[in-house]
Amino acid sequence: MPCVNLSLEPSPASVGLEPAVSLYIHVPFCASKCHYCAFFSEIPKDQWPDRYAKALILELEQLSGQIKPRTIFFGGGTPSVLAEVHWRQILSAMERCQLHQAQEWTVECNPASVSSEKARLWKEAGVNRISMGMQTQDDVLLGHLGRIHSYGRARECHDLLRRAGFQNLNVDLMFGIPGQTLEDWDRCISEALALGSEHLSCYEVTYEEDTPLYNQLQAGRFAMDEDLVCRMYEHLLERVREVGFRQYEISNFAKNQDPAPEGLPSTACMHNVNYWRGGYYIGLGPSASSYWEGLRTTRWPDVAKYCECVERGLSPLAEQDRLSPLARAGEIAAFGLRMTEGWDFNEFARITGFDLRTEWAVELKELVLLEWGCLTDERFCLTAQGLRFADAAAEKFLRLE
Ligand code: SF4
């Protein structure tokens, strides 16, 4: 595929989207594959990390001067699995390309692969937020998930990151793990809160096809208990509210201190908020997606192919599609309803050019009747019950082309 010119300059005709943009960088390596994971990542072989770092730097150089990201997110995969030598190369390229002065810069990490030296490099480069996958405090359950770290290591990692000077830490937790009881989950929440992080992301285990956990479920090795999962989620909401965390999205909770101008908690993840609010984003690295002025693109989910394209000066894009304004507005509506604030009608119109009240009048009424939605003169949001069924609610807003 020839190199596609992805224009990065917003045109005056764009429908009010701000030029603020998020930069996502996908690190496609993990030390081993977790049993539930369907993300694109591979166990690094031979020279792959070296080749990946060089290709990524070439992509960063092409982007140099074209955008000024407001948020940066290194996700994966496991960014922390990259060796210090590769981090040094990538971070100095970020600086050289003037891509390093974001308001929020997150690196995801696995406790097993964080070192003091990596934490120091991140801090010096301008990283100001770390997201750590703890998942659970129970080492047996961590084993069921195929995680390679122990809870003890997660605690050490949290301390290490604090000592390195990070004041905005997220901890990822999982509930509904096969074999996990409500008491286990309560202990997990207690241990996570005791760490004192500023942000919590709590996800229900999902069973993605072709993962070991899915295959175990299909083979009857355990059964799903939806009632228990619902009770775990409700218990989570109670526990985190008691200690001052504010839920701002289905799975995300942030310390409610110094509310930011948008009314979000000051430690809300602004990178993800940009996705949910329909903002522009540029994704680099294998499998990463971008969205810019109606054009959605995805890079090859294949490390060798991605590197080869970039090295040869060819486009690393595997797919691109242009959504109609209405289809994109439907997607934006659906994503935004994941947030507890839902949509302010004026803001939705400013971002998409459509009136949520008229274009989706039938859907809003239906959701209110189901008691999944709450409608006022200014805004529409999902109720607590609606948030539990957010995927089903969101589907109603999608407009097929
Ligand atoms: S560390 Fe994250 S990306 Fe890697 S296999 Fe586990 S869940 Fe997937």
Indicate the pLDDT class of residue 20, thresholds 50, 70 and 90: low
Residue 148 — φ and ψ, nearest 5°? -100, -5
pLDDT at 13 over 60: no
CB 329 within 8 A of CB 354: yes
CB 103 within 8 A of CB 67: no
Q: Could you tell me if the CB of 146 is within 6 A of ligand 1?
A: no
CA of 78 to the centre of ligand 1 (A): 6
CA of 357 to the centre of ligand 1 (A): 40
Give nearest CA residue, ligand 1 atom 7. 37
Q: What is the pLDDT of residue 259?
A: 57
Rounded alpha-carbon distances, angstroms, from residue 353 to 118, 328, 349, 381: 44, 11, 5, 19
Task: List the chain domain ranges.
Answer: 21-276, 337-395
pTM, two decimal places: 0.93
Domain 21-276 has CATH 3.20.20.70: yes
Structure tokens at 387: 């948030």
Q: What is the pLDDT of residue 7?
A: 37
Q: Could you give the percent of the chain with pLDDT greater than 70? A: 94
Q: What is the mean pLDDT of the chain?
A: 92
Q: Among 15, 47, 11, 24, which residue's Cα sits nearest to residue 274? A: 24
Which residues face 282 on adjacent strands?
A: 23
pLDDT at 54 over 90: yes
CA of 181 to the centre of ligand 1 (A): 23
Q: Could you give the percent of the chain with pLDDT greater than 90? A: 88
Q: Could you tell me if the CB of 389 is within 6 A of ligand 1?
A: no
Identify the weakest region by mean pLDDT among 14-18, 155-159, 300-304, 338-342: 14-18
Indicate the pLDDT class of residue 262, thresholds 50, 70 and 90: low
pLDDT at 174 over 60: yes
Residue 212: other Cβ atoms inside 10 A: 15
Compute the distance between CA of residue 200 and CA of residue 250 in angstroms, rounded to an integer: 11
Q: What is the pLDDT of residue 45?
A: 86
Which atom belonging to ligand 1 lies closest to the Cα atom of 110? 1
**226-250 mean pLDDT:** 95
CA of 114 to the centre of ligand 1 (A): 15
Compute the distance between CA of residue 179 and CA of residue 367 in angstroms, rounded to an integer: 34
Q: What is the pLDDT of residue 400?
A: 76
